[in-house]
Amino acid sequence: MAVEFLATEMDTAVRVVHLASSLCVKVQDKLRLPSSTNGHVKSKDDDSPVTVADWGVQAIVSWVLAQVFGGQNLSIVAEEDTESLSKAESLGLLGTVSSAVNEALSEASTYGLPKPDKPLGTTEILEAIGRCSSVGGPKGRHWVLDPVDGTLGFVRGDQYAVALALIENGKVLLGVLGCPNYPVKKECLSNGCNNQSGAAGSVTKGCVMYAKRGSGQAWMQPLIPGGYPESATLLKVSSVDDPVLATVCEPVERANSNHLFTAGLANSMGVRKQPMRVYSMVKYAAIACGDAEVFMKFAQSSYKEKIWDHAAGVVIVEEAGGVVTDAGGRNLDFSKGVYLEGLDRGIIACSGQVLHEKIIGAVYASWESSSL
C-alpha cells in the first residue's frame, strides 16, 4: 500500500495517542498522591511494573482502531495481556482501569475520534485489551503498541512514552510518540526540573511526535489538556557531527544496557558531555527534535529487544533526518515477529550519517576488549 494512502491511518494514530496521553497524565497525577500507588500499580512476572495507564491506553487504542478500521481483521501487537487483570483479586484494579478508560473515551469526540454510545463494561474493556494479541510477522498489516513505554519512569513521575506504529509486510510505515513529560527545556530531560511552570497559558512540557515513512518530514504537536492542537512544528535532527560536542542518550536502568561499554565507547570517540540517561523511547524523541545526537544501547546477549520498544521511534528519527541501525550498521528488522531478531550487538541512533559512521567504527575497535 502506497504511503500516500495512509492519511486516515496517520490522522487516527496521532489523535488516539493524544487521547491516550491525556489518560496517562491523569493517572500519573493520581500516583503522586499519598498511598495511591498500591491501587494503580501491579508487578508482572519479571517484576517490571504495570499500571492502570498501561491497560487503559491499550484498551483505548484497541477500541478506537477497531471502530475506525473494523475489528475483524485488525492485527495489534502490544505489550500487555489480560491475564492478571482478569483474576478475582484484581476486581478493584479492573474497576479503576474501567473508570480511567471511560473517562478518557467520554472526551474522544474532542479529539475527533469516535465515542461509545454508553460507557464500556469491564467485559468490553478486557476484550479490547485482549484483542492486542497478534505476534506480527513478515506479511500483512500490524499495529504495534507500547501503551506506556518506560513504566518505571512513569511510576517515578519521570519520562515515559505512548508509542504506536504501523507495520506492513515487515516495514514500519508510520510512528507516533506521545511524550507527556517531554520538557521545553532540554536540561530538564535528565534532571527532572520539578518546577516547569511557564508564563500564563504557555505549555512547558508535553508533546506528540509523528512521521510517515518516505515523507522526509517529522512533526511535533503540543499536548493540550482536553483538546487537539491546531498546529504542528517540523522536526529536524541536530547538525552536530563532532563527537566532542555530541549529547549521548542511554537507558537509565543498567539491566537494559551496558553503561560501562557505552562509557568506554564514548570516551574513545572524544565525547566530553556526561550521558543523558532517559527512560523510554523519549531518547528517540530527543534525537528527532535536536536535543541529543546519539542513542546507544548495548544489552546483555541474553536480552531480546521487542519491536514495540523501537518501531515508532525509529521512523520518526529517520524521517527527521537521522540514522538508526544495529551496531553492525544494518537496518533494524521488524519482520520477524515480536522480537528484533538478528540484531548485531546493539542499537545505534544518530542525528546524521557522519556521526553514525564514526560510532560504528568505534564499536568495531572497542568490541574485542569488551565482555558483552
Q: Which residues are annotated as a binding site?
A: 79, 146, 149, 309
Residue of 82, 151, 262, 325 with catalytic role: 151
Residue 150 C-beta-side C-alpha neighbours within 13 Å: 30
Our answer to whether residue 123 is catalytic in this structure is no
| Cell numbers that stand for 291 in this block | 536535543
What is the DSSP track for 203-245?
A: --EEEEEEEETTSS-EEEEE-BTTB--S--EEE-------GGG
Instruction: Report d(CA 58, CA 80) in Å as an integer.
Output: 8
Pairing outcome for strands 248-250 and 276-277: parallel
What is the DSSP track for 93-153?
A: HHHHHHHHHHHHHTTGGGGT----SSPPPHHHHHHHHHT-B----SSSEEEEEEEEESHHH
Instruction: Report d(CA 65, CA 46) in Å as an integer.
Output: 29
* 144, 311 contact by CB (below 8 A): yes
Instruction: Report d(CA 182, CA 289) in Å as an integer.
Output: 11
Q: Which residues contact 90 (CB under 8 A, 6 or more apart)?
A: 42, 84
Binding-site residues from annotation for Mg(2+)? 79, 146, 149, 309
Among residues 338, 311, 341, the alpha carbon closest in space to that of 134 is found at 338
Our answer to whether residue 81 is catalytic in this structure is no
Q: Which residues contact 297 (CB under 8 A, 6 or more apart)?
A: 250, 251, 256, 257, 262, 346, 347
Residue of 12, 54, 82, 96 with catalytic role: 54
Q: Which residue has the cell 461509545?
A: 116
* Catalytic residue numbers, as ranges: 54, 151
